Amino acid sequence: MSLKLYLDNVRRIRPTVHCITSAVSANDCANALIACGARGIMSDQAEDAVDITAHCGGLNISIGTLYAQSIKAMFEAGDRAGELGRPILLDPLGAGTSALRTKTAHRLAEDLPLTVIRGNLKEIKILASGSGSAHAVPVIDDDHITKENLASVSAFIKQFAEASQCVVAVSGETDIISDGNRLAVVQSGDPMMSDIAGCGSMVSAVTTAFVIANPEDIFMAVTAAFTACGVCGEIAKNHLRPEEGNASFRNRLIDAIYHLNGEILDKNARYEIL
C-alpha cells in the first residue's frame, strides 16, 4: 500500500498545528512541521490558547513541561478543539514519573475527545491502567517492545485503542499503531532517534499534521507519519559523518523531512498492516 498520498496531502493542504508541547522540544517541533509542509503555533497560555486552537486544524498536547497555566491551557484548548471537531493528539510524555504528570495524563485522556494517543509503551501502560476510568484495560508486564512480546503487546494496544475509541500509537524500536480494528507494525527508524531530546515530541507534532490533512483515514495517516519519520531517521543516520553526533543528527533529521517525497517514502517504508 502506497503512503505517498498521505504525505502529498500534508504538503498540499499545509495544515496548521497548535502545539502545547515541551519547552525542550518546541523549536524542533516547529521546524519539523515546516519541513513536512505544515505550520505550527506554540501557545500554552490559556487566554491565548483557546483562540489559537480555533485558527488551527488540530491540537497537539504534550505533557512534557507542566505548570499550572499550561495545564489549564491544555484542558481549555482541548475543549475548544472538541467543540469545533478538530483532531486532538495526546502525548503523555513522562507519565508515571510523577504524580502530577500521571494525574494530568489520566484527566486529559478521560475528559477530552482524543483522536490519537502517542507515547512509548511505559507511558501507554500508565494511561491504560486508568484512574477509575471505564476505559482502563488490563496492563501487560513489559515496558519495551521485543520480538518475543510483539504479539502480546499488539493485542494490548489493540484492546486499549478499542476501549479509548481513538488511534493508539506506541513508539519504540518497533512502532505499533492500532485503531482497535486494524494494527500496523512499523520497522522504519534508527536507534539514534532516541539520542535526541524531544524526538518523540517531533513525531507527535508531525503526526498531528498528517491527521489533519488526512481525516478520511486517521489510522493510515498515523501509520504514514510514523513511517515517514522513521525513514527520515534512517536517511539522517546514513548521511551522518564519523565526526558528527546527535546535534548534527537532529539537523539532518529535519533536513530529511524537508526533502522527503512520496517516492522516497514508498521506496524505503518498512511497515505491515495486520
Cα angle: 231, vertex 235, 239; to 5 degrees: 170
| Contact criterion met (CB below 8 Å) for 202 and 35 | no
3-state secondary structure of 172: coil
Q: What is the pLDDT of residues 175-198, one digit of tens each?
A: 999 999 999 999 999 999 999 998
In the predicted model, residues of the chain with pLDDT beneath 50 are 132, 134
pLDDT of residue 136: 57
20, containing H or E segment = strand 16-20
Q: Are 17 and 201 contacting, i.e. CB atoms less than 8 angstroms apart?
A: no
| Single-letter amino acid code for the residue at 235 | I
The predicted-structure confidence for 238-258, as pLDDT tens digits, reads as follows 999 999 999 999 999 999 999
Residue of 110, 58, 120 whose CA lies nearest to 89: 58
**In what side-by-side order are the strands of the sheet with 271-273?**
39-42, 16-20, 58-62, 88-91, 116-120, 167-171, 175-178, 183-186, 271-273
Rounded CA gap, 16 and 134, in Å?
A: 33
For residue 75, what pLDDT is reported? 97
Q: What is the pTM of this model?
A: 0.95
- pLDDT of amino acid 132: 46
Contacts of 104 (CB under 8 A, 6+ apart): 63, 66, 71, 74
Quick one: pLDDT at residue 126? 92
Rounded CA-CA distance 47/72 in Å is 9
C-alpha pair distances (Å), 54 with each of 58, 75, 77, 100, 212: 9, 14, 9, 28, 14
Q: Residue 123: which H helix or E strand, with range?
A: helix 121-129
| CATH number assigned to the domain with residue range 4-273, chosen from the 4 options 3.30.950.10, 3.40.1190.20, 3.40.50.300, 2.40.30.10 | 3.40.1190.20
